[in-house]
Amino acid sequence: EVQLVESGGGLVQPGGSLRLSCAASGFTFSSYDMHWVRQATGKGLEWVSAIGTAGDTYYPGSVKGRFTISRENAKNSLYLQMNSLRAGDTAVYYCAREKGSGDFDYWGQGTLVTVSS
Amino acid sequence: QSALTQPASVSGSPGQSITISCTGTSSDVGSYNLVSWYQQHPGKAPKLMIYEVSKRPSGVSNRFSGSKSGNTASLTISGLQAEDEADYYCCSYAGSSTFENWVFGGGTKLTVL
């Protein structure tokens, strides 16, 4: 059974940093592109970052230069390093597996990040 | 403002059919047959319902179907059931030469009357 379990969320002050983790199991992690998607309370989904099987990374303009996605295939783990956090980054952060055609077939349960003083 | 435009809400009675539209541009929906749809119940993670415009993952009811014309994709749910009440999001791949490689719609709240 495919499972994605996020951790590392919490309360952080504006300008601070946080590192999210996503533990994957039930599939060959190294063979899949992986993503982070976030959702502010009561709002829609927003794509945050992606990493390919070769380690290539992609970001939207809203987080580029502040967030860094990485993966450790030996540990079946995905990470998101978030720096210079802003109030607008407050959201539930989901990790998601890309099925291979630009869509996300498995999602974690999400971890809440709150940026507030 | 979301990159893809969806109606904020739609409603229908049990047994009826509804369609949710998702309008993008020639740079995303219009350029790629990589539109997907997600169902999200309150407090839950999104669930993939449609991928590559019109394909259904294993286990998803055939009451859900997808299509695309030009820059607009659509999700149709036939034979509405109470458990279909949820938020629905479309998503499109937008290429690798842009900062916004994947774009979501703002979401549509489906109410089953």
Concatenated DSSP letters of A71-106: EEGGGTEEEEEE-S--GGG-EEEEEEEE-SSS-EEE
**Inter-residue contact B20 to B68 (CB < 8 Å):** no
Please give, rounded to a whole number of angstroms, the shortest distance from the CA of A87 to a CA of chain B: 17
The pLDDT tens digits for A70-100 are: 999 999 999 999 999 999 999 999 999 998 8
Chain A residue numbers with beta carbons less than 8 Å from the beta carbon of B93 are 102
Can you tell me the distance from the alpha carbon of A92 to that of A89, in angstroms, rounded to the nearest whole number?
Answer: 9
Which B-chain residues 53-112 have CB contacts (< 8 A) with chain A? 57, 89, 91-93, 96, 99-107
**Per-residue pLDDT tens digits of chain B, which is 113 residues long:** 568 999 999 999 999 999 999 999 998 999 999 999 999 999 999 999 999 999 999 999 999 999 999 999 999 999 999 999 999 999 999 887 667 789 999 999 999 99
Residue A82 · residue A93 · CB < 8 Å: no
Distance (Å) from the alpha carbon of A108 to chain B's nearest alpha carbon: 7
